[in-house]
Amino acid sequence: MPRSERLRKSSDFTRVFEEGKSLPGRRVVVYYLENGLPFNRVGVAVSKRLGGAVERNRLKRIVKEAYRTSEAALRDGLDIVLLPRSKAKTASFQEVKEELLGLLSTCGALRKDDDEK
Separation of alpha carbons 47 and 37, rounded Å? 28
* Residue 117 within any structural domain of the chain: no
Structurally, the chain folds into a number of domains equal to 1
Q: Provide the residue range defining the domain that includes 65.
A: 3-103
Structure confidence by residue, pLDDT tens digits, 51-88: 999 999 999 999 999 999 999 899 999 999 999 999 99
Burial of residue 12, with CB atoms counted within 10 A of its CB: 0-12 exposed, 13-18 middle, 19 or more buried:
middle
* Residue 114 within any structural domain of the chain: no
* Residue 97 within any structural domain of the chain: yes
pTM over 0.75: yes
Please report, for the domain that includes residue 65, its CATH number. Answer: 3.30.230.10
Write the CB contacts of 40 (distance below 8 Å, at least 6 apart in sequence): 5, 71, 74, 76, 77, 78, 79, 80
Banded pLDDT at 117 (limits 50, 70, 90)? very low
